[in-house]
Amino acid sequence: MLNFMEKNDQKDDLAEDSIIENEEFGYSKIEIFHPEDTAKLAYHYGEILKILGEDTDREGIRKTPLRVGKAIQFLTHGYSLDPMKILTSAKFREDYKQMVLVKDIELYSLCEHHMIPFYGKAHVGYIPDKYITGLSKIARVVDAFSRRLQVQERLTTQIRDCIQEALDPLGVAVVIEAHHMCMQMRGIQKQNSVTTTSAFTGAFLNQIQTREEFISLIASKLH
C-alpha cells in the first residue's frame, strides 16, 4: 500500500529525497531523507561495520552504511506521522451503528529491545457513534504506530486508544498477530509461533457477544 520511490537513481547522493505516497487512498505525504541525518547515520553504521570486523572499503559493502542509514529512516518514518490527524482528516458524520471491521492489515515493525523486525497482521474493528473514518485511514494508523521502535503490546493499545479518542465510538477492538524475528533468529521462539495481543474498549469490553462476533469475523476465511 505504500509506495517507496526514489526520485533519481543516484543512490549515493546524500541530498536525495524520497517520496512516500498513498494517493489512491486519498492520503499522501512526502517523506524526505534528511541529508544531515543520513550522513550521520551512514557514518555511525560504518563504524559499527568496522567493529563487527567488516572491511568498509570492500566493494559490496562500500555503500551499505548509506543504504542502512536511509533504510532505518524509512523503517521508523512513523515518528513523523500524526495518527490522530490521519483519522480526523477523514472524519465523517454518519448514523451507521454496526461494526466496521478492517482485517488482515499488513504490519511491519521493529522491536524496541533489539531493533529486529516483527511483522504480521492487525485486525481493527469499531462501532461508530455518529462518526466514521475512511477505511484506509485505519490501515494508515496501524502503519503510523508500527513504523517506530515498538513492543507489540503497546502498539495494540496505541491503535485502540487513538481510534477511541479520534472517533469516540461505542467500542474499539484491535487484535495483532505477529512473528518476532528477534525471538526466532535468536532461537528463543519456535519458527512458526505467533504472538497474539488484543485490546478492547466499550461494547467489545462489556458485551461478550459483540467481542465474540468480532473474534469469529477475524477468524473467518470468507472475509
* CB of 111 vs Zn ion, minimal distance in Å: 3
Rounded CA gap, 144 and 73, in Å? 13
Q: Does 181 bind Zn ion (CB under 5 A)?
A: no
Q: How far is the CB of 148 from Zn ion (least distance, A)?
A: 14
From 103, 53, 78, 64, select the one nearest 220 (Cα to Cα): 103
Output the residue with the shortest Cβ distance to Zn ion: 182
- Our finding on whether 110 is near Zn ion (CB under 5 A) is no
Shortest CB 113 distance to Zn ion, Å: 4
178 touches Zn ion (CB under 5 A): no
Among 123, 129, 122, smallest CA distance to 98 is for: 129
194 vs 52: CA distance, rounded Å: 31
Catalogue the active-site residues.
111-114, 152, 180, 182
The least CB distance from residue 116 to Zn ion, in Å, is 5
Best CA proximity match to 143, nearest among 121, 126, 165: 121
If binding is defined by CB under 5 A, does position 111 make contact with Zn ion?
A: yes
Please state whether beta strands 171-180 and 131-133 pair in parallel, antiparallel, or not at all (unpaired).
unpaired
Total site size for Zn ion, rule CB under 5 A: 4
The site string for Zn ion over 61-100 (x = CB under 5 A, - otherwise) reads ----------------------------------------
- Establish if 179 lies at the interface with Zn ion (CB under 5 A): no
**What is the torsion angle, in degrees rounded to the nearest 10, for the CA atoms of residue 48, residue 68, residue 84 and residue 203?**
-80
Retrieve residue 214's grid coordinates: 468480532
Distance of CA 160 to the CA centre of its chain: 14
Does 182 contact Zn ion by CB under 5 A?
yes
Which spans of this chain sit near Zn ion (rule: CB under 5 A)?
Answer: 111, 113-114, 182
